[in-house]
Each structure stands twice: as C-alpha cells, then as structure tokens.
C-alpha cells in the first residue's frame, strides 16, 4: 500500500514539474498552423509527449477506431479521410495543443497528420487504444497516414 502511494505521489510530482517546465518553455507558443514559428527541441518534444500522456489517461480518451493526440506547443495538421481532397491542401483541420482529434472534431477515425517543412515528428503508437509505445524512426516533413485501429500521440520538433 505504501509503495502504491509513493508511486502515485511520484507520478503527480513528475507531472507537475514537467508541466511547469513546459509551460515556461511554451509560453509564447499559441496554437498555430503547422510549420509556423513554434519551435521545440527534440528533448522538449519528448518531454511534452510524456506530459501529455501522463495527463490524459487512455480510458478517458479511448475511442472506437483511432485518434491523434497533439503533444506539442503548436497546431498539428490532421487528416480526417485519406481522399486527396484536404481542406488546407495537405491536411483537413488544425488540432490545437493538448487535444485529441476524436474529442475536438468528433471524428470516429483520423487518417493521419501533416508535418510542415523543417520539422520532424516523434510519435507514440497504440494498437488497441490504451497502451502507447514509442515508434521509431522519427518522421520528417509531409503527410503521415495511419491505420484504422492505430492511435498516435504526436510531438513535433525543429529538425
């Protein structure tokens, strides 16, 4: 019982510290269209993704189908249906920081995301909606399509 309480307190403390560090580092980073002035290092992108996953329990965001979570300080271009006809040329909507595509847009499935020129994406993948694991390699700019039953937490960094 004591170790469970310690583990819980440790998780809360780590989450609080990461939130403070990220808030200070992202203070000027308002949600923006993909590929704009929001810049993060690879280390900050990883910390942002870990904080996002700690704050968003899988059960509270689980959806039938799939979803994408935006863990970086800017807007993430997301693709609703892979049909070649995208509202913004290469993506359909801008998913703001700290949001899930299924919750914000009400989409049952999301087809992928777009990473702007000069950026790379770091991604954590889930094949069942609850456990996420780091997927390598990181991806460069362009459209990145996902399967109907795979969900992702995406964090973008300057590369």
3-class SS string, 99-126 = CEHHHHHCCCCCCEEEECCCEEEEEEEE
DSSP string, 36-82: SS----HHHHHHHHHHHHHHS-HHHH--SS--EEE-SSS-EEEESS-
**Mean pLDDT confidence for 3-25:** 38
Nearest Cα to 71, choosing from 93, 38, 117? Answer: 38
- What pLDDT digit, counting tens, does each position of 121-143 carry? 999 999 876 788 999 999 999 99
Instruction: State the pLDDT at residue 150.
Output: 93
Looking at the predicted structure, is the pLDDT value of residue 42 above 60?
A: yes
Instruction: State the pLDDT at residue 51.
Output: 77
Strand partners, 14: none
pTM > 0.85:
no
């Amino acid at each position: 019982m004591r170790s469970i309480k310690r583990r819980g307190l440790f998780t809360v403390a780590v989450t609080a510290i990461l939130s403070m560090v990220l808030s200070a580092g992202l203070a000027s980073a308002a949600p923006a269209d993909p590929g704009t002035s929001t810049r993060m290092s690879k280390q900050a992108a990883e910390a942002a993704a870990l904080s996002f996953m700690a704050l968003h329990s899988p059960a509270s965001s689980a959806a039938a189908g799939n979803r994408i979570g935006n863990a970086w300080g800017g807007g993430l271009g997301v693709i609703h249906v892979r049909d070649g006809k995208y509202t913004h040329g290469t993506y359909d909507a801008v998913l703001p920081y700290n949001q899930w595509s299924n919750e914000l847009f009400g989409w049952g499935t999301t087809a992928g995301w777009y990473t702007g020129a000069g950026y790379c994406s770091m991604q954590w993948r889930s094949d069942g909606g609850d456990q996420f694991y780091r997927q390598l390699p990181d991806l460069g700019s362009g459209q990145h399509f996902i399967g109907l039953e795979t969900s992702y937490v995406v964090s973008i960094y300057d590369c």
